[in-house]
Structure 1
Amino acid sequence: MRSKVRTIISSGLVAGTLDITAAILIYAGILHKTTAEKILQSIASGIFKKEAYTGGSEMTLVGLGLHFLIAFIFAWFYFKIFPYIPFFKINTLLSGISYGFFIWVVMNLLVLPIVFPVLPEKNLDFPLLLSILIVICCVGIPIAFITRKYYAKWY
């Protein structure tokens, strides 16, 4: 039997790992837009601003920690709302897709503009669609399936 905490930790770890791996593979490995270190430092810059880019490996680790903290928060939130949203129990895949899109909206239209008041303009183009797809596939869907497995014993 899985516990609530174990379910949240599992879904947060899986989602956080898949998301950061996809970001590094795609943006650093395939597209050569940045480096893994800069991706993680940019996460840390949400708190430490420009200092994050000069802080070395410490800031890289802080960025990784913040990334997983965010993944755990979204995993916890889905776990908490799951019993109250009937749609989540009907179709896990569509629930994961919709939750992934919700996460992208929250992060890109609420959190990032608050943390970084000056952001590049978003255009409906390949990079934007790729970022949405990564969050849906790597965060929303895994969280939905792992959480559903826990709740499957209740209905």
Structure 2
Amino acid sequence: MKMRPLAFVLGTGLLVGTLDILAACVQYFLKTGNGPAPVFKFIASGVFGGDAFSGGDRMIVFGLLFHYSLAVSFTLFFFLICAVFPSISKAKVTRGVVYGVAIWLVMNLIILPLSNTPKTSLSWIDAGTGMLILIVCIGLPLSFIAARQKI
């Protein structure tokens, strides 16, 4: 059964966004032993700056909204690329890996530097972990979902 395109993109974006934020929260917990609130407040700080860290539950909600907005946007862009360039859809794993790395590059070289998030140094291990999360939680699922739907 085919879904309407908007519902399909939204549902898929929510799925991969949930996988991604769960991985980020687990990674944060393993690193710090703390709950996920600072992860969501960091995301909110992209718009609200340092005020997000003292903003309470409201900033957590904004962080979630911003996160899912980005996830749905990256999902829509992926499906558009697949529709415009159908020849790339044959190599599902390669396509998913490349897209995960591309998302990491866009986030870390464009979006985060232009945002109000705190500026931090990035280690090779953090970069590799971030890329791996985006590959496994966004790139590969999008690629396999697109192949299944013949996008």
Please, which runs of 5 or more residues in structure 1 have no aligned partner?
A: none
Q: Which amino acid counterpart does residue 131 of structure 1 have in structure 2?
A: G
Shift of 1:127: 1.8
CA drift of 1:151 comes to 2.4
C-alpha RMSD over aligned residues: 1.8
Q: Is the 8 A contact 2:92 2:143 kept in 1?
A: yes
- SS of residue in 1 equivalent to 2:122: coil
d(CA) in 2 for partners of 1:60, 1:19? 16
| Per-residue deviation, residues 94-137 of structure 1 (Å, max 9, x unmatched) | 111111111010000111111148622333x2222111100111
**92-101 or 67-76, larger mean C-alpha shift:** 92-101
1:100–1:135 contact (8 Å) kept in structure 2 = yes
What is the letter of the counterpart of residue 56 of structure 2?
G
Equivalent residue number for residue 141 of structure 2: 142
Please say if residues 43 and 67 of structure 2, whose CA atoms lie closer than 8 Å, have aligned partners that are also in contact: yes
1:9 correspondence with 2:3: no
Q: Tell me the distance in 2 between the aligned counterparts of 1:35 and 1:97.
A: 29
TM-score w.r.t. length of structure 1: 0.88
Aligned to 1:88: 88
Counterpart amino acid of 1:128? A
Gaps of 5+ in 2: none
Is this contact kept in 2: 1:88–1:95, CA < 8 A?
yes
How far 1:149 sits from its partner (Å)?
2.2
Percent identity of equivalent pairs: 31
Taking the aligned partners of 1:59 and 1:74, their CA distance within structure 2 comes to 22
